[in-house]
Amino acid sequence: MTRDRNEGAPTFVQIIEAEFNFLVEQGFQSVVEDEDSVRYDRRDGVFVRIFRDPRDGYVGFRVGLASRPRDALTATELARLSGVTAPRGEYPDRAEHIRASVARVAQDLQTYGERPLAGDEAIYDEVMELRRAYTEKYSQEGRDQSSD
């Protein structure tokens, strides 16, 4: 069994597998992409990718459809659709906080991910509209500032 730098501590992949076991119970199968990423796939084309960026320590997920992989949704986007402002992923400051960060990210998926996990394709169009509005807002602000 592979362990992280701290002897006896579970690896990031092992933590993901423990915290995201609810996906296996929903028919997903896990694929370890590398030591910083696990993807869960289901036969209906829904996928969830849980990852961390080792450079900045960010822990997050994307949930999407195999037919629309570029439209995969984040926790922040799912929360916004629910009318809630959610934290932008997790940035654990020490290795021992990774388990808690992964647990919070798993909870975000359970709380806000019902529609994409159920295969609701309409949610991707709704998020695309959110993304367009966000981009327009900041594009407009940039134009306003440059005209000053």
**Whole-structure pTM value:** 0.81
pLDDT in the model for residue 1: 42
Cα–Cα dist 61/143, whole Å: 32
pLDDT of amino acid 2: 45
Residue numbers in the chain where pLDDT is lower than 50? 1-4
* Backbone Cα Rg of the chain: 17
Looking at residue 4, what is its pLDDT? Answer: 44
DSSP 64: E
